[in-house]
Chain A
């Protein structure tokens, strides 16, 4: 069964304290892994797409990496404006997006 698991559920960071979020998946024949950012009361905002193991993408303080079993979202020297819920999703065997439950990140000054 296709599954996407994110950890930790919640993460509290001091401003400048780098950390990583994990997304592990079980899906046959990965066709794409996606990272989204979601602010409270708003729709998810697209961040990255990764297609193959070894691929990396960067945007400001965020860097996403992909292996055959998992993806990491690294947050380097976070600022309070990086506070959000980060969602991971994969294309499942039926061609639909399957989402993880998300990691809620809070960055305090």
Chain B
């Protein structure tokens, strides 16, 4: 079974803090993704990566950056957290030969 894990289930940060969200997958997948999910807006793609050290902007990259130094690990960075970044953050991965994405359990981030 594909396993995608995220570093925290719940996180509370203050405005202006730098926040790191980590995601690890154990299936040697080439592609990894970060989404945020908000009520009424559904899942929106923030960034994705199709290889180590490669990254592409998704639909809402502003205020975020990412890092992929190893194939199994994809980090999302909030440079200076703001209250409008309070959300559920979901990481996903997929193999290069498939479009099926597998999701982690999510991190509920609250910025106060």
The reply to whether A96 and B58 form a contact with Cβ atoms under 8 Å apart is yes
Q: Is A97 an interface residue (CB 8 A)?
A: yes
Known: A43-B90, A96-B45, A100-B42. A31 touches B99 (CB 8 A): yes
User: Which partner residue on chain B sits nearest A34 by CB separation?
Assistant: B100
Interface residues of A (CB under 8 A from B): 31-32, 34, 36, 41-46, 49, 87, 91, 95-97, 99-102
- B38-74 vs A, Cβ < 8 Å mask (1 yes, 0 no): 0011110100100000000010000000000000000
Q: Are B106 and A41 in contact (CB under 8 A)?
A: yes
Beyond the given A44-B103, A45-B103, A49-B100, could you list 7 further A-B residue pairs with CB under 8 A, ordered by the A residue number? A31-B99, A41-B106, A43-B4, A43-B90, A44-B43, A46-B100, A97-B101
> Does B13 reach chain A (CB closer than 8 Å)?
no
- Chain A min CB distance to B95 (Å): 13
Contact of A42 among B33, B58, B105 (CB under 8 A): B105
> Are A43 and B103 touching (Cβ within 8 A)?
yes
